[in-house]
Chain A
């Protein structure tokens, strides 16, 4: 079982719609959760992170966390063509020497005008 799982997509959404991305993780000790965006040929950039159960909103992005279900999601409202990218879910797990960040395989999002 992969530690962090995402649907690879592509997730195709029309411009202006809501894109919903899901991520599940296997380690119940995981403490914080990150969403990165990666444009083709570019390096990942952090969109937002969440620690606590519930929702966290930042502009058009909302992260949702449910630790009991080991599930984290990202909603992109009013999707724009510029949102077309691969979205990586990353999970931070504490271990003896510090923190370890484990990435999922990413979900490719395609926003169609």
Chain B
């Protein structure tokens, strides 16, 4: 079974530029999550999708971050414009269901550096 795929793996941009990250979850997984992990901290949930609907985006800075999940499969996370404090690893995870305790499988992450 293929794991969660993310691209790019690394990205360096200047502040005020825009950037987009892509995630392909495990086949058949209905729930998809985007986390932000700042160095030395635990992952922080940015947005959670159930199929192609948003379940929770309470911690997404909506003035600059946006995300979509087309057709309930792949997802993109965009930052526009980027700030220095957006430097972090962006992790995508997926799980089979939203309710119950099903493991979240994490992708390798995208390391973003904003200069």
Q: With a CB–CB cut-off of 8 A, which chain A residues contact B50?
A: 97-98
Q: Is the interface of B mostly helix, strand, loop or mixed?
A: loop
Q: Is the interface of A mostly helix, strand, loop or mixed?
A: strand
Which of A8, A95, A98 has the most C-beta atoms of chain B within 10 angstroms of its own C-beta?
A98
Comparing B11-19, B62-70, B73-81, B96-104, the segment that makes contact with chain A is B96-104
CB atoms of A105 and B42 under 8 A apart:
yes
Known contacts: A97-B56, A100-B45, A101-B45. The answer to whether A46 contacts B103 by CB under 8 A is yes
Known contacts: A42-B108, A98-B55. The answer to whether A88 contacts B99 by CB under 8 A is no
Q: In the complex, how many residues of chain A place their beta carbon closer than 8 angstroms to a beta carbon of chain B?
A: 25
Q: With a CB–CB cut-off of 8 A, which chain A residues contact B40?
A: 8, 105-106
Which of A6, A101, A102 has the most C-beta atoms of chain B within 10 angstroms of its own C-beta?
A101
Any chain B CB within 8 A of the CB of A103? yes
Known contacts: A43-B109, A44-B106, A97-B55. The answer to whether A88 contacts B43 by CB under 8 A is yes
